[in-house]
Amino acid sequence: MNYLEEYKKWCESDEFDEETKQELLKIKDDEKEIEDRFYKELEFGTAGLRGIIGMGTNRMNKYTVGKATQGLANYIVKRGVQNKGVAISYDSRNMSPEFSKLTALILNANGIKTYLFESLRPVPELSYAVRVLGCTAGVMITASHNKPAYNGYKVYWDDGSQIISPVDKDIMNEVKAIKDYKSIKEITQKEAEEQGLFNIIGKEIDDKYMAELKSRVLNHEIVKAQGENIKVVYTPLHGAGGESVKRILKEIGIKNLYVVPEQEMPDGKFPTVEYPNPEAKEAFKMALDLAKKVDADIVLANDPDADRLGIYAKDSKTNDYMDYTGNMSALLIAEYRLSQMKQKGILPENGMFISTIVSSNLAKAIAKEYKMDFREVLTGFKNIGEQIKIEEEKENGKKYVFGFEESYGCLIGDYARDKDGISAVMSLVEAACYYMSKGLTLWDQMINIYEKYGFYKEGQVSIVLEGADGAKQIERLMENMRSNLPEQIGKYKVVEFKDIKLDIAKNLITGETSKTGLPTSNVLYYELENDAWCCVRPSGTEPKIKLYMGVKAATNEEAENDLANLKIAMKEKVGE
């Protein structure tokens, strides 16, 4: 069935309600819009769904969410684990409350118990809840940091991590096997409650989650003492992090917290930002204006589902607010926590530090300094969660201490299995208090880290190619790079090339080939001389091809110049 036939079906079939048909009839003369909505089904990928809200097969709506949920339900029932239940949460995006309740009731209609949060909560608390409640799965309705038009559907498994192979593929197959929307089971909330299937959760999980985070503070007395002095500006960017951040900072002793008033309340329209992403400098405008007004020491922002954290810190020498990449903020936390744990004698001898292949090589240097077992995995925090689980199931497995990915997310302990922007706020504020007690700012400490290990700098370029034509162009660009292996990129010789999709690693110095040792993924990785590197992959959640790169140099200026030149060279190689 082509997209016009599918469109006609949605406009005429009794599978779809009148409101749906009316929305679609409004675009009857816009063939390009019809094609975009119906040229494919919104794919249930390795983490779930993500797409623009609206009617159509390639949109987030009650039918596509319903189909995904019925597929998940079929898988859970086949596994015989429906009695363990499913935890469900959501963030501030449009339609999130509706999609979360719909998810709960479809699961209930299949005899599966659900635990739905009473109101919006951060992603990490959902991950934590799955573990605490002993659930078989979790669902988070969120599109993370995407633009306001989007929403999404993330699926977690019983360890609190996003689904991985083979569970992800098995669920995908169940979703694909559903051929019509009439097969989605229904039940009323009243019926589900009478059967003990529909359950609301909230404060009890909140309290346990907060207690867990506070137990991870390493210097309580220093935080309390400096908490009288330090000034923190924070914005949840209209998302789910606000209440949790305010509570945790208050409970550890921070007295001067300034929340950006215009961005404090949850709002799926994200009226003050074009793009609610703490990676974007524009998202910090209001927070930085407030910081200058109150003379704040640090400025923090979570994304809407509060798994990511962006940061600016004041440089007391210039009075400028300096921005941190996701690599910088995570590795600042890592250096603080590992050094303090070592000093206090609580750093495990068999400790494990996990990062991703597109994150900073500084992570390897820090892991080596503290004699940590270093693991490098594919992009996506679920791959970090998988490593934690693998070691937990061994008799003498490694003890997870810290993990992060460059996309502004880290996890400071094994209480959850996704990146946690709430504990990252807590950890950065704790670190700021500690260094303040030593007469240092966070920016001073960042420079100290570079002077200790070398000036590592990383960057990213995203090439946006939307729609059906964009998807084909991304495929062509990847195949062109795969087929044309360069011996040099910019001023750097290529030392080793890894095609992770084909599971081939080629050493360009010796000519030897081997396997990558990583799961199959459409990723090309170039190890360059002088500890530099670059990587190319399509985004798994957005219509983008992403270029990552990193360098190491003796000075900050040299590193910045090298990185800028490597970005130019990479864009030329891809053929943008």
Burial class (CB in 10 A: 0-12, 13-18, 19+), 72: buried
Q: How far apart are CA 114 and CA 372, in angstroms?
A: 39
CA atoms within 13 A on the CB side of 119: 9
Cross-strand bridge partners of residue 302: 309
Closest CA relative to residue 496, chosen from 529, 456, 521:
529
Which residue type, as a one-letter code, is found at position 510? Answer: T
Q: How far apart are CA 568 and CA 575, in angstroms?
A: 11
Using left for φ > 0, alpha for ψ between -120 and 50, and beta otherwise, residue 306 falls in left
**Longest Cα pair distance anywhere in the chain, in angstroms?**
70
Using left for φ > 0, alpha for ψ between -120 and 50, and beta otherwise, residue 223 falls in alpha
Single out the catalytic residue among 144, 360, 427, 521.
Answer: 144
Quick one: CA torsion of 105, 111, 115, 116, rounded to 10 degrees? Answer: 0
Peptide bond into 486 cis (omega under 30): no
Phi first, then psi: give them for residue 109, nearest 5 degrees.
Answer: -65, -20
Q: How far apart are CA 196 and CA 192, in angstroms?
A: 6
A 10 A CB-CB count for 6 gives: 19
Q: How far apart are CA 242 and CA 263, in angstroms?
A: 9
Q: How far apart are CA 564 and CA 570, in angstroms?
A: 10
Concatenate the DSSP letters of all residues of 53-93 into one string. Answer: BSSSTTSBSHHHHHHHHHHHHHHHHHHT-GGG-EEEEE-SS
Could you confirm whether 423 is annotated as catalytic?
A: no
- Two tokens at 170? 């098995």
Which value, in Å, is the radius of gyration of the alpha carbons in the chain? 24
The residues assigned a catalytic role are: 144
